[in-house]
Structure 1
């Protein structure tokens, strides 16, 4: 089981997703928790590395398990609603970022497509 942290970043009722260099699937900003690292510290580190932003606030959203979109294994993803400072800019292994609506699940990893996005739509925070 791979354990990751993921950020839910919303702007104007759209969700930020990222695509790693060489990948075709968009995923949430975040990444794998290093041994001995607290999940919130992982989230802070990954946001800084991938998007060049600083974590200001994080509210737990949920933990979800699914088959990984980009690896041949199961994944457990701890998700947070986050507020960041700075402008999200692709960095490190991130090649592209995209702001999507709730109906744009065709190219998004399973955890966000099947768990997070439907709940955000239900809560009225993400446009369908």
Structure 2
């Protein structure tokens, strides 16, 4: 059975939140995690972001769906807007950072999903802010 998970690209003042997980793979990624049985992706994403960061966010829209054959999992990536709170990372993480996607590329920071997918989300958010 395919295991669903969610990731939320949280935007605040042009920067995005990335967490560094304690367990491998030790890459920078947006907050997120596995969905509970019967949980819809949006509810699961809000729960995961709250658990992992203590932040309140607003989900803007989905930006990408992908399948990982290695783990037989299906990922749903959303763009989110920061609402309130101060980042307090969970025991699953060792650090966090707010970075622009340009900084992620320039500094060649290893992240998952790829910066290409994250750029897609940034373009969508930019279009929504203009309208």
TM exceeds 0.5? Answer: yes
Q: TM-score, normalised by structure 2?
A: 0.73
Show structure 1 runs of 4+ deviating over 6 A.
Answer: none
Q: TM-score, normalised by structure 1?
A: 0.75
Partner of 2:111: 108
Number of residue pairs matched by the alignment: 121
Extract unaligned runs of 5+ from structure 2.
Answer: none
Higher helix share: 2
Moved more, 30-39 or 7-16: 7-16
Structure 1 pair 38–73 and aligned structure 2 pair: CA distance change class (3 A): closer
| Residues 1-128 of structure 1 aligned to structure 2 (within 5 Å) | 1-23=2-24, 24-55=26-57, 57-65=58-66, 67=68, 72-73=71-72, 75-103=74-102, 104-105=104-105, 106-109=109-112, 111-120=113-122, 124=126
- TM-align CA RMSD: 2.7
Which has more radius of gyration? 2
